[in-house]
């Protein structure tokens, strides 16, 4: 079963993403901080991470950098943000460097979230 990690300091946002994906037969784990996300990433085997760009304790891109350094198969990280935009130089650079594989602007659609499962 595919495991998904959802990281956002807003529980409602975690709930929304989880409920969009609930019919997909996935193992979904949520957390609300960057530190806990890094802990779970180091001990888990996640295929996809939906990661908020602004967390109370860490920048989301720092968590993404941590995930990109994991041994073995690294998860696909999708940065989710209401602060950044898709043409933001920081976002483009993170994609070019392979730190994240995609970006989702808040608000997003159900199709935006489900589309991350393809490929």
By the 8 A CB rule, do 47 and 76 touch? yes
Q: Is the model's pLDDT at 86 over the cut of 80?
A: no
The separation between the first and the last C-alpha atoms of the chain, rounded to the nearest angstrom, is 16
**Mean pLDDT throughout 12-16?**
96
Alpha-carbon Rg for the chain, nearest whole angstrom, is 13
Q: What is the pLDDT of residue 94?
A: 95
Q: What is the pLDDT of residue 48?
A: 97
Q: Count the residues in the chain.
A: 119
Q: For 28-47, how does the pLDDT look when each residue is reduced to its tens digit (9 = 90+)?
A: 999 999 999 999 999 989 99
Buried b / exposed e along 66-89 (16+ C-beta atoms within 10 A) = bbbeeeeebbbbbbbbeebeeeee
Q: Could you confirm whether domain 3-115 is CATH 3.20.20.210? A: no
Residues 6+ away with beta carbon under 8 Å from 66:
38, 41
Domain ranges of the chain: 3-115
Q: What is the pTM of this model?
A: 0.95
């Amino acid at each position: 079963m595919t495991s998904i990690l959802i990281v956002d300091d807003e529980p409602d946002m975690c709930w929304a993403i989880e409920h969009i994906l609930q019919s997909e037969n996935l193992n979904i784990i949520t957390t609300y901080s960057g530190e806990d996300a890094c802990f779970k990433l180091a001990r888990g085997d996640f295929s996809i991470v939906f990661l908020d760009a602004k967390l109370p304790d860490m920048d989301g891109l720092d968590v993404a950098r941590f995930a990109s350094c994991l041994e073995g198969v690294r998860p696909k990280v999708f940065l989710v943000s209401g602060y950044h935009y898709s043409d933001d130089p920081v976002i483009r650079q993170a994609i070019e460097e392979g730190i994240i594989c995609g970006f989702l602007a808040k608000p997003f659609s159900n199709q935006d979230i489900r589309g991350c499962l393809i490929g």
